[in-house]
Structure formats: C-alpha cells, structure tokens
Amino acid sequence: MFSTTRLPSRTALPTFLRLSDTFATETARTTTSFARSRRNMPTELLANQKPLEKVSRSPFNVAFNVHRRTASHFACRGDFNSNPSLLICNKDSGLQSRTVSMWPSGRKSDWQKALSDAEKVVGYPTSFMSLRYLLSDELSNVAMHLRKLVGTKHPILKTARGFVYDGNNSMQTRGLLVLLVSKAAGPGGEWEEEEEEEGDEEEDSNGRSMVSGIYRSQRSLAEITEMIHTAYLMHRGVVNLEEVTSADGTVDDMSFGNKMAVLSGDFLLANACTGLARLRNTKVVEIVSSAIADMMEGSFLLEQDNQGVTFLPDKDWAIKDWTNHTFLCSASLIAKSCQAAMMLAGHRLDIQKKAYNYGKHMGLAHRLHADLLPFSDTSDPNMPFALTSAPLVLHMEHAGRAAVTDKITQVSDKSMKVDYKQLRLEVLEGPAIHAAKELCYDHAQRALAAVTVFQESEAKSALENMTRAVTRF
C-alpha cells in the first residue's frame, strides 16, 4: 500500500530535500526504513490514506482533497490551536462526509487556490517538509509502537495520523509562509561580518546559495518551524493519567502513549535545536527559542482536558486575552520565524519588523477564520465548539459571562455538559459573529499593510492572496 502512496523517486524529490548533502545516502537507508515502518504501522493510521496519484488526477478527488485538506487544517490537526471538539465529532462521524456538507466547495477554493499557487512560487509542495523526520529510524520506531494504542483515545493517534497520511495534504502553512516571505523579501543586504576560519565554513556558503530565490538557510528555518509546531502538538497531546477514564483506554496504554508522545516531540525539538544551531546565527536561535517559550507560556493560560478541549477560565476572558493567548500559542511562532528568515538574509530591522507583523496578523486572522467556521455550518445544531473561541469571547463581552456559563452543567470536576444548540443560536443572534469577522478583516488588513514594504513579485501576490483568502467566509 505504501508503494501506491509513493515514496517520491529521487528526481521527483523536492529540491529542498535534495539539498541535503547526506540525502543521497539517506535515501537508500530511509527507503528501507520507510518500508519497514510502513509494515509495522497500525492499520488504523493508514486507513484513510489515499494514493496521491489518483487523488490528483480525478477532478472529484481533487475537490474532495480540497475539503479534507481544509478540514484537517481548521479542525483536525488542531492547527492554530483550533477547536479540538470538532475533531472528535469528525472522527466519529466520518471526516469526508462531514466536511463536504460543512462547507460548500466554492468557498474553500479561495484558500486552496492561494495555497497551491503559493507552493508553486516556493518551488515545491511544502507538505513534504516533515518527510525527512517522519522517515527517521526514531520516528519509525514510534510508529511501530503506536500499534498498541489503536482503540484508545490517546491524542497522539490523531497527531500521528495527521503526520502520516495527511502528510500529503496537511497544511504546513507555517513553513510555506516563511518561504514566501523569504522570497518576497529577496536577497538580503550585507551579511553579518563573519570571521572566516579556514576549512569548515562550507556549510555557511551553502546557506547563502539561493534556490528559486530562497536561501538554503531560510528553507531549513521553514522546516524547523514546522518541526517545532509538530513537536508542540505532540507534547500538548500528553494526557494526565489521573484524569484518564475507562472510555479513553487503560491507564497503562495511555501512559505508553504519553511515552511515545514525549519521545517523538523531544526528537523533533532536538532536531529543531541542532538545525537552528547549524544556521550559525545566535540571534535567530534566540528569537525562535523565544517563540517556543511563548507557546509554552500560552498553553498554561487555559486549562484543557485530555482530549484538548479548553475550559472557560474562572476569571473574565476578554477578547484581548483571546488575542494574547492566540498570539502566544500560534501567531508568535509564525511571526518570529518570518522575522528570523529576514535576519538570515541580512535584511534591515524595519524589514524584519514588517515580516514579523505579517506573520503575527496573518496568524491571528487565520485563527479567527478557523474559530468562525463552526458558526457558518448549519447542518448539525448540536455540534460542539470551543468556549474560548473568538466568537464566544466576543459574545460574553456583549451579553455577559453568565450568557455562556448558564449553558454549562458541571458533570464532575473535570467534565461538563454544554447546551451547544442554544448557545450557538444566541451567538448567531448577537453581534459577536460580525465583530469576529471585523476583527479578522482588521488583522488581515494589517498583514497586507506589512507586505507593502516588499517589491511586487509573485511571492508577494501569493502572500496577499493567502491573506485575502482567510477573510472570505
């Protein structure tokens, strides 16, 4: 089955993968380990895997692909810290049928088109970005062990599923944005004066060579950004053993899942660390590290249960808290990676700042878009949504906190029942949806304003198109 999924032939490999000096030898090794890991992979992980050839040739499948892609982006992979409860219901009721009914196909193609255009601009499909690490012996090993967890509700299965079979379709938008911003900014000014030591500076000179308008170091950075995000998803999916219920699986299984989640997240983080160090720019190391610290700080702001459903905090949660939380959890990484990409090219501070602002506001606009999606779907009035999503926060600002807390019945210490149907109706009647859309436009506008600093180019248009796409509802 894996052969149909195609390991890309060497020539078909994205440039970025081929850039690795050691890749030629690695290919031989990883091909076998890929096959091996494939054999050992839990069937559940592969159940939904579609051969890409087929998908891309049939028009129907393209459309389907679009749905799944977008759905997985907004709901499934927990991207932008999206509402995980969506995920649960998708998982149970079948992702495809739901996503098809959830959004009329005409709407999403904006985003989809913006993405596929953007991928052409940077020169290769960016969803390949994590392939190299997926194929490592270490992660193959983890995949093999995950078999034991099939049937449990450990969140690592969701993350891994996204990592394995959605690898073709899933949105690695962070990396893509970093590449686009890099290309839009173009070749940088003077390099930081580098004390040339004889001999071992080869890597550096490679880092400065440009492939389709992007420095090699910037491509590495894009990859590192994706790795950090995936590691974060893995680690955020560690469950608290005390709260494990019999519906989740046995405590032993969940503990084993934790072990795998910790190890694979650590593995990705460690590779991100060494990758960052190899960029040989301590400022970049510092700023990207600070983005990770932001994500950790952000995840302590809200309590969540083992399935990733966030709880309403005890104190008042205003839209500025939402913005702060969203910035820390997701926009910070994009913003700081974009800025770091400018540093790597040696751009001036004002350009760095613009790139940072683009990443920040694009991240926030994107998240608002994702938060609004459950409210544009009318098919299932009982569909859950996050109580800490932007429309809800705005609703509380308007109608008072009690308007939401009234709908919650505390079942036990760590679980609750929410009358989603009634709550949704009230949110839709109030001004919150409109306000959230306004906020989304506002951030998109700021993002667009930031990229005006770049000269006209297809990379710049791709950035603009992606930004506009998140404001279409």
Q: Which is nearer to other proteins, 259 or 468 (CB)?
A: 259
26 touches other proteins (CB under 8 A): no
Find the binder of other proteins among 26, 297, 419, 426 (CB under 8 A). Answer: 297
Q: Are residues 42 and 158 in contact, defined by beta-carbon separation less than 8 angstroms? A: no
Q: Which is nearer to other proteins, 206 or 422 (CB)?
A: 206
Buried b (16+ CB within 10 A) or exposed e, 170-193: bbbbbbbbbbbbbbbbbebeeeee
At its nearest, how many Å lie between other proteins and the CB of residue 111?
30
Secondary-structure breakdown of the chain: helix, strand, coil percentages, each rounded to the nearest 5: 70, 5, 30
CA distances from residue 246 to 108, 153, 207, 260 in whole angstroms, order as listed = 39, 10, 51, 20
Burial of 2 (0-12, 13-18, 19+ CB in 10 A): middle
* DSSP code at position 310: B
Find the binder of other proteins among 1, 24, 270, 425 (CB under 8 A). Answer: 270
Q: Which is nearer to other proteins, 18 or 280 (CB)?
A: 280
Is the torsion defined by CA of 379, 384, 385, 391 positive or negative?
positive
Find the binder of other proteins among 301, 319, 403, 408 (CB under 8 A). Answer: 301
Find the binder of other proteins among 109, 289, 307, 461 (CB under 8 A). Answer: 289
Give the strand pairing for 408-410 and 214-215. unpaired
283 touches other proteins (CB under 8 A): yes
At its nearest, how many Å lie between other proteins and the CB of residue 207?
12
Residue of 300, 302, 163 whose CA lies nearest to 227: 163
269 touches other proteins (CB under 8 A): yes
Q: Which stretch binds other proteins (CB under 8 A): 12-20, 32-40, 218-226, 238-246?
A: 238-246
Q: Which stretch binds other proteins (CB under 8 A): 43-51, 54-62, 254-262, 370-378?
A: 254-262
Q: Which stretch binds other proteins (CB under 8 A): 215-223, 281-289, 378-386, 421-429?
A: 281-289
Strands (E) across 56-201 are located at none
416 touches other proteins (CB under 8 A): no
Six-digit token string for 388: 């800490």
138 touches other proteins (CB under 8 A): yes
Those residues with Cβ within 8 angstroms of residue 415's Cβ, 6 or more apart along the chain or in another chain: 305
Q: Which is nearer to other proteins, 226 or 464 (CB)?
A: 226
Instruction: Tell me the number of residues near other proteins by CB under 8 A.
Output: 43
221 touches other proteins (CB under 8 A): no
Find the binder of other proteins among 43, 274, 379, 409 (CB under 8 A). Answer: 274
Find the binder of other proteins among 19, 46, 63, 285 (CB under 8 A). Answer: 285
Q: Which amino acid is at 404?
A: V
Q: Which is nearer to other proteins, 180 or 272 (CB)?
A: 272
Q: Which amino acid is at 230?
A: T
133 touches other proteins (CB under 8 A): no
235 touches other proteins (CB under 8 A): yes
Q: What is the 3-state secondary structure (H, E, C) of 5-69?
A: HCCCCCCCCCHHHHCCCCHHHHHHHHHHHHHHHHHHCCHHHHCCCCCHHHHHHCHHHHHHHHHHH
**Contact footprint for other proteins (CB under 8 A):** 138, 141, 231, 235-236, 238-243, 255, 258-259, 261-263, 265-267, 269-271, 273-274, 276-278, 280-283, 285-286, 289-290, 292-293, 296-297, 299-301
